[in-house]
Amino acid sequence: MEWLVAVPQFLAGGLAIGAVYGLIGAGFSLIYNTSRVINFAQGQFVVYGGLSAVSLVANGIHPLLALPIAVLACIVLGGALQAVLATARRGSDELTFILVTIGIAIAWQGLAHQIWGSGYHTFSLYPEGAAFVLGASVSYGTMVTLGVTLLVCLVLWLFLYRTLVGKAMRACANDPRVALTVGIRPRTMVLGAYLASASLGGLAGVLVTPSLMMSAEFGVLLGIKGFTAAVVGGLANPFGAIVGGILLGLFEGLCVGLISSDLQDAYAFIALLAVLLLRPQGLFARKLPAGVR
Amino acid sequence: MSALAQTAAGRQAVPIAILAALAIVPLLTRDDYLLGVWTFILLNIIVVVGLDVLLGYAGQLSLGHGAFVAIGAYASALLTTKLGWSGWAAIPVGMMVAALVAALIAVPTLRLRGYYLAMATLGFPILFDAIIRGGSNWSGGSSGVTAIPRLALGGVVLRDPTAYYYLVLAFLAVVLLLVWNLMESRLGLRLRAIHADEAAAMARGIHVVRTKIGVFTLSAAIAALGGSLYVHNVQFVAAGTFGLNYSLMLVVMLVAGGMGRIWGGVVGVIVLGWLPELLRDAATWQPVIFGVLLALIMLFSPSGLAGLVRRRSSFGPRSNNHVSDAPRHRTASGPLLRVSGLRKRFGGVTAVSDLTFDVAAGEIRSIIGPNGAGKSTALALVSGALPADAGSVQLAGEEFAGRPAHERARAGLGRTFQHARLIPTLTVFENIVLGASMLGGSRRDSEGRATCVLESLGLGAVAQRFPDEINHFERRLTEVGSALAARPALVLLDEPAAGLSAAEIELLANVLREERDRGTAIVLVDHIMALVMPLSDRILVLDSGAQIADGDPSSVTADARVRSAYLGQGAAHA
Amino acid sequence: MLDRNQERRRVLKVLGATGLATLAPAVARAKDAEAWRIGAALDVTGGASFLGVPEHNAIVLAVEQVNAAGGIKGRKVDLAFEDSKSTETDSVLAVRKLISQDKVSAIIGPSRTGGVMAVLPIATEAEVPLLAPVSGVNVVEPVAQRKWIFRPGQGGDLSVGKVLDYARRAGWKKLGILYSADAYGEDGRDNMRKLAPDFGVTIARVESFPPASTDLKPQLAKLSAAGVDAIFMHGYGAPSAIVYRNAREMGLKAPIISGHGQANNAFRNAVGPAVVGQPIVGAPVLVWNELPDSHPQKQPAAKFVEAYTARFGAAPDMFAGVAYDSAQMVLQAIRETDGERAQIRDWLENKVRNYVGVTGVFNFSPTDHAGLTRDALVMMIATEGGWRLADYEK
């Protein structure tokens, strides 16, 4: 039991990856709220963001410049995804969209394998080293990741609740037909949501790759965990998803430390099931998003 | 060809053809390796056929099916290697374990729908993987289980690839025939109904949750069978063998071949099962091709290859040989339906307040009122589609408040919906058989009853058509027929005359009168006075959730409150 | 409603698609009937591709070299290669194909212990000699049931023995084990548990990590709290790189000593400066230029490194060396027999005595299909540019 003092370390271990889950989850939430689609390919934005940055840096581009370029690449991907989904026939049901995004996720993952192989890659961004916070070693990289994520959280909140465009997006989520009547174009909003989601994912990728490395193989699992984050926080609520992600990361870290690391991926799944069954609207949303029960 | 499909022998044509074709394969390939690949294909066909029942027919987005294959595989592997069991004995145990696990998981997760269910099921392989890796003392951990013995038949170890191929084919035959016949039966109709429209299914008396759990269990057991047969061939299994990638591959194969047709899954496995072989040199492109294929198919041809071929229904009108046409609860004394104090609020809005009325057998009762009066809500409350906040609903003296829609349907409460909720993947005749099947009995009984209804509604000519191929009136009649085929004591009709011409309204009215004469009670909600006035014995008028008049047609039209509710002041027509 | 012709055409389309799919696999590989055929089933794609690609290269090199010298007894050598894709199922398919379709005389591979375990019964049943470039102990034990399987590589038990010997010299009494949750990692853990008492070392704590971990600080924290003198790490891939960085960030005092899973270039490039100064079990081929001239592996390793680098543009690592040795052994067997499967097997078991390879000096026997001793391994220390031979060896 002497290692109980290591509990803060367990928690700290989950912070960086929790931030990633949160950003992915926010992406899920944005897309779902504007178009009722669960984007299985969400995790791929993280992979492409991180690996693109790796390639750019390997080709001599300064990391700080590589960051926005990589995120831009993801935004393009996001737009492409939305364009593909828009070709779906009218009246396509949920199964159609789920399977289309799954197909795209598999295809993108395969493409990533083609380009970057199945190995792990990284690039240098953060200063080396760590600080001790409450008895836990927290790397500078983790601190930056967390900081940027919280900043994004704030920006997202301000955008959705304080700007006109953001409010329009929320109106769209509530009822696209009514939004139409007041001059909001749902299709523009939907495209915006995809682009925003992709940039969040790409940002997560570039933030986390220097600390935790990135591989083409991570996409699907990251997507599932990001979805869990969104569910925990409340699918209806993007910045709730970010908080949900951090909570999920902490939970995972705690379980890995206290129980066993063998079941690492299972903890997220158990959390997902628990939330779905006990409080499906998540911790921060008040009502259930449509089409759940 | 339709007629052939409907004979008892003709119905087996498809599975027999598939099995015959597969049986010839070893004769055409002398290569042990190719035969091995074909054996893998057979095993995947077994699993995909089971998955089709769940995903294609019942529409349940189970994306982690590999976990059940893994359960069967591990059960066989561990029982034979660690406990020395015979492989034959281990197979049914594996299937039962998978079925049990499925039933346990199903109860909580099948309450979810759509994406949530899909995501939850994606976690199964992950969870199973973790359990195996964590329990390495008994499970072999990540190293897996090796030296799994082969199956032996009467002292002969089944090592010869050809012999094993035929063994697997024999199992496939059992599974295929079983599943095919189940799906071509009334159970298949019910599953398609659940897939298309759960609310409509419940209105037809289908116990949706129980059926879904049953299908999940069956599907899992079949998957486990595939897993067991796999390990006795390959003699090795590890945690990652049937993981997430495998589960998604199953879905791609099923979707590409065509969901909900059984033979579609077979085609999908055969076509896509060979793709990795053909792509051996470009193997790294395989996921890209699979992914793009899946996306393209779902966008442009969601019914897959099988969608190119129209489904031939195995249900057809047959000669009328059943006895009584009488609706149920004929002998009830007192009102058939008694509603009192029914109330429903949505947030701040009271949709229905204190609704009280009754309906006698053989009576046609109408509910009218301006838009937003709460008529449809009232119907939904009575039928059980919507839970009431307060009030009682008694059918033939039995209290049904708080009880679900399918129980009320089974007790004799039929219903149609505002926008005709036919099952689009069933033919006209099948929709009516679906309604008739609530009464149980044999397949012939249901078909007989349905034929009766079909003919009395004049739908004989369109019996084998699908709902998107018939006109609006025919669709409406079909839905009414589907409700009537269950011989309800009382049927609730929500705006049946909407969109009908004068002549069609007249025809509908005749149908309803005939029903009434048989003793069925009818509650009709509609705007169209051309139908309501001549037909109704009594009319109830609602306005803003409250009832403002109740009486025979002439007194209601004369009522001043009714006129002002509809038309403001000084009404010219009513 | 479709008319009958349209309907019929559609049915034919579907039948056609299915028919094409079934006929397609008649695609057979072009074969030179006169050539000697050896097979390789390696993980060139998937998680273990960092093993499979160098292994494949090494075998290609060996075959090219022998063909350039005129082949064997006047006939060329043909390499039939299948990708086992880092999964058990594909390993099985690959080996089956090599055996029944390509009819190879011997097989080298698969690249991972898990893959080898899966194909053991197949090779044994088909009576085809299999040389596995892996380290798992169960691959060649119990020998009586592994008649057709050889493992010409550094076994996990040897690797662990090396670590323990180093530990004893360094005066470490308490070790912690950090292993990856797969066949390779479990092998290391089991070997360490078994052999530690022989060296006077106790295992204070055991931790594991899933193959796709991103953070190992919890495990390191627990190991550190158990008061270990050093941590034995047995795993491969990204998490193994992350371990070193995490340790550095945490200011972990205890050194991390790793099994040979880290002795490859992919890892060295990925981990960066965090590993500098840490001991790693490696093979002569990686530090050949530091070996004394009298070392039996110096010459073969030098030649191999030169040829490999010239052919593929990068230096080979440990398991490339093993694959090269495997190929050379098979080729030698063909030279000295008629090239039949049983003959190759017998040759390997009986004629490989003091066989000097790139990896070590091999001695197979009816009771030993592993063939190496601890001397085939060397302890290395990671440096800024790569590795160097540890002082312990000198």
Task: Give the pair of three-digit tokens for residue B321.
Answer: 């040989």
pLDDT of C217 reads 83
- Which among B33, B234, B271 has CB closest to C100? B33
Rounded to 5 degrees, what angle do the CA atoms A118, A121, A127 make?
165
> CB B267 to CB C121 under 8 A?
no
Q: Looking at this predicted complex, what is its ipTM?
A: 0.86
Which residues fall within 8 angstroms of residue C322, CB to CB, at 6 or more apart?
Answer: C55, C133, C152, C153, C154, C359
Question: Quick one: average pLDDT of C10-22?
Answer: 65
pLDDT of A98 reads 82
Read off the CATH number of the domain in which C171 is found: 3.40.50.2300
Task: Express each pLDDT in B462-508 by its tens digit.
Answer: 999 999 999 999 999 999 999 999 988 899 999 998 888 989 999 99
> CB C241 to CB A213 under 8 A?
yes
- Which among C210, C215, C225 has CB closest to A262? C210
Question: Quick one: average pLDDT of C325-343?
Answer: 94
In the predicted structure, residue C376 carries a pLDDT above the cut 80? yes
Question: Quick one: average pLDDT of B266-295?
Answer: 82
As to burial, measured by CB atoms within 10 angstroms (0-12 exposed, 13-18 middle, 19+ buried), residue C189 is buried
| Sequence letter at residue A180 | L
In the predicted structure, residue B322 carries a pLDDT above the cut 60? no
Which residues fall within 8 angstroms of residue B408, CB to CB, at 6 or more apart?
Answer: B383, B384, B393, B395, B400
Q: How confident is the model at residue B16 (pLDDT cuts 50, 70, 90)?
A: very high
In 3D, which of A234, A89, A140 has the Cα closest to residue B116? A234
Mutate to test the interface with C, among A109, A209, A213, A217 (most CBs of C within 10 A): A213
Contacts of A111 in chain B (CB under 8 A): 288
The one-character DSSP state at B468 is: G
Q: How many CB atoms lie within 10 A of CB B333?
A: 8
Task: Give the pair of three-digit tokens for residue B72.
Answer: 């069967």
**Residues of C at the A interface (Cβ-Cβ below 8 Å)?**
45-47, 49-50, 86, 181, 207-210, 212-215, 217-219, 221-222, 225-226, 237-238, 241-242, 248-251, 266, 270, 272-273
Q: Please state, for a pLDDT cut of 70, what percent of chain B lies above it.
A: 94
Q: Is B251 on the interface with A (CB under 8 A)?
A: yes
Strands C361-362 and C378-382: unpaired
Q: Which residue of C has its CA nearest to A129?
A: C249
| Sequence letter at residue B28 | L
Mutate to test the interface with A, among B54, B109, B115 (most CBs of A within 10 A): B115
- Which among B25, B234, B277 has CB closest to C92? B234
* C148 and C173 housed in the same domain: no
Which residues fall within 8 angstroms of residue B550, CB to CB, at 6 or more apart?
Answer: B357, B538, B539, B540, B541, B556
Q: Where are the beta strands (DSSP E) in C191-344?
A: 202-209, 230-234, 256-258, 279-282
Q: How confident is the model at residue C197 (pLDDT cuts 50, 70, 90)?
A: very high
* C122 and C231 housed in the same domain: no
| Sequence letter at residue B72 | G
Task: Express each pLDDT in C35-60 by its tens digit.
Answer: 899 999 999 887 788 889 999 999 99
Domain limit, last residue, from C282, C311, C336: C282
* C185 and C275 housed in the same domain: yes
Identify the H or E element spanning A165: helix A164-174
In the predicted structure, residue C19 carries a pLDDT above the cut 80? no
Any domain includes C55: yes
> CB A102 to CB B251 under 8 A?
yes
Mean pLDDT of chain C: 86
What is the rounded CA–CA span in Å between residue B244 and residue B242? 7
Residues C103, C341 contacting (CB under 8 angstroms)? no
> CB B291 to CB A109 under 8 A?
yes
Q: How many domains does chain C have?
A: 2
Sole residue written with tokens 């009464």: B439
- Which among B112, B291, B298 has CB closest to A293? B112
B332-412+526-574: CATH topology is Rossmann fold (3.40.50)
* C98 and C141 housed in the same domain: yes
What are the backbone dihedrals phi and psi of residue A120, each rounded to the nearest 5 degrees, phi first? Answer: -100, 140
In 3D, which of C136, A214, C44, C150 has the Cα closest to residue B238? C136
Q: Please state, for a pLDDT cut of 90, what percent of chain B lies above it.
A: 36
Task: Give the pair of three-digit tokens for residue B108.
Answer: 């909580």
Neighbors of chain A with 3 or more C-beta pairs under 8 Å? B, C
> CB A107 to CB B287 under 8 A?
yes
pLDDT of B324 reads 53
Sole residue written with tokens 């926010």: A26
Task: Express each pLDDT in B378-419 by its tens digit.
Answer: 888 999 888 889 899 988 888 988 899 999 999 889 988 888
In 3D, which of A148, A128, A140, A120 has the Cα closest to residue A51? A120
**Hey, which CATH number is domain B2-304, 1.10.150, 1.10.10, 1.20.140, 1.10.3470?**
1.10.3470
What is the rounded CA–CA span in Å between residue C230 and residue C173? 9
* C213 and C260 housed in the same domain: yes
* Cis omega (within 30 of 0) for bond into B26: no
- Which among C49, C217, C242 has CB closest to A117? C49
How far out from the chain centre does Cα A40 lie? 11
Task: Express each pLDDT in C159-190 by its tens digit.
Answer: 899 999 999 999 999 999 999 887 788 889 99
pLDDT of C101 reads 85
Mean pLDDT of chain B: 86
- Find the domain containing C259 and state its range: 156-282
Q: Which residues 156-175 of B have a C-beta within 8 angstroms of C?
A: 159
pLDDT of C21 reads 58
Q: How many CB atoms lie within 10 A of CB B395?
A: 23
Contacts of C121 in chain B (CB under 8 A): 146-147, 235-236
pLDDT of A287 reads 61
Q: Which residue of C has its CA nearest to B143?
A: C183
What are the backbone dihedrals phi and psi of residue C280, each rounded to the nearest 5 degrees, phi first? Answer: -140, 140
The domain spans of chain B are 2-304, 332-412+526-574
**Among B86-95, B352-361, C250-259, C281-290, the range of highest mean pLDDT:** B86-95
Question: Quick one: average pLDDT of C213-240?
Answer: 85
In the predicted structure, residue B363 carries a pLDDT above the cut 60? yes
Task: Express each pLDDT in B26-81 by its tens digit.
Answer: 888 877 878 888 999 999 999 999 999 999 998 888 888 999 999 999 999 999 99
pLDDT of B333 reads 64
Which residues fall within 8 angstroms of residue B563, CB to CB, at 6 or more apart?
Answer: B557, B571, B574
Q: Which residue of A has its CA nearest to C246?
A: A139
Q: Buried b / exposed e across A224-241, counting CB within 10 Å, b at 16+?
A: bbbbbbbbbbbbbbbbbb
Which residues fall within 8 angstroms of residue B230, CB to CB, at 6 or more apart?
Answer: B43, B69, B73, B237
Return the number of CB contacts < 8 Å for A and C.
93
Task: Of A45-54, A193-202, B316-325, B437-446, give the lowest mean pLDDT range.
Answer: B316-325
Q: How confident is the model at residue B253 (pLDDT cuts 50, 70, 90)?
A: very high
Contacts of C236 in chain B (CB under 8 A): none
Does the domain formed by A2-278 have CATH 1.20.58? no
* C162 and C264 housed in the same domain: yes
pLDDT of A286 reads 64
Which residues fall within 8 angstroms of residue B280, CB to CB, at 6 or more apart?
Answer: C82, C83
What is the rounded CA–CA span in Å between residue B359 and residue C294? 108
Mutate to test the interface with B, among C49, C93, C180 (most CBs of B within 10 A): C93
> CB C18 to CB B270 under 8 A?
yes
Residues C207, C246 contacting (CB under 8 angstroms)? no
Any domain includes C186: yes
pTM assigned to the model:
0.85
Q: How many CB atoms lie within 10 A of CB C34?
A: 10
Any domain includes C345: yes
Sole residue written with tokens 């299908």: B215
Q: Which residue of B has its CA nearest to A94?
A: B114
Q: Which residue of C has its CA nearest to B142?
A: C182
SS3 B491: strand
Contacts of A118 in chain C (CB under 8 A): 45-47, 49, 86
Any domain includes C386: no
The DSSP secondary structure of A192-219, one letter per residue, reads HHHHHHHHHHHHHHHHHHHHH-EEGGGH
pLDDT of B325 reads 59
pLDDT of C344 reads 94
pLDDT of B97 reads 96
pLDDT in 10s for each residue of chain A, 293 residues: 556 767 888 888 788 889 999 999 999 988 888 887 888 899 999 999 999 999 999 998 898 899 999 999 999 999 999 999 888 877 677 778 888 998 999 899 989 988 988 777 888 888 877 888 887 878 888 888 889 998 988 888 888 888 887 777 777 767 767 777 777 777 888 898 899 999 999 999 999 888 878 888 888 888 888 988 988 887 777 888 888 999 999 998 888 878 776 677 788 888 888 887 787 777 776 666 554 44
**Residues of A at the C interface (Cβ-Cβ below 8 Å)?**
2-3, 5-6, 9-10, 12-14, 16-17, 113, 117-122, 124, 128-130, 136-137, 139, 212-213, 215, 217-218, 221, 253, 256-257, 260-262, 264-265
> CB C89 to CB B241 under 8 A?
yes
| Sequence letter at residue C261 | G
Task: Express each pLDDT in B130-173 by its tens digit.
Answer: 888 777 778 877 777 877 888 988 878 888 889 999 999 999 99
In the predicted structure, residue C29 carries a pLDDT above the cut 60? no
The domain spans of chain A are 2-278
Contacts of A120 in chain C (CB under 8 A): 237-238, 241, 270
In 3D, which of B414, B118, B405 has the Cα closest to residue B251? B118
First and final C-alpha spacing in chain B: 53
Identify the H or E element spanning C131: strand C130-131
pLDDT of A99 reads 85
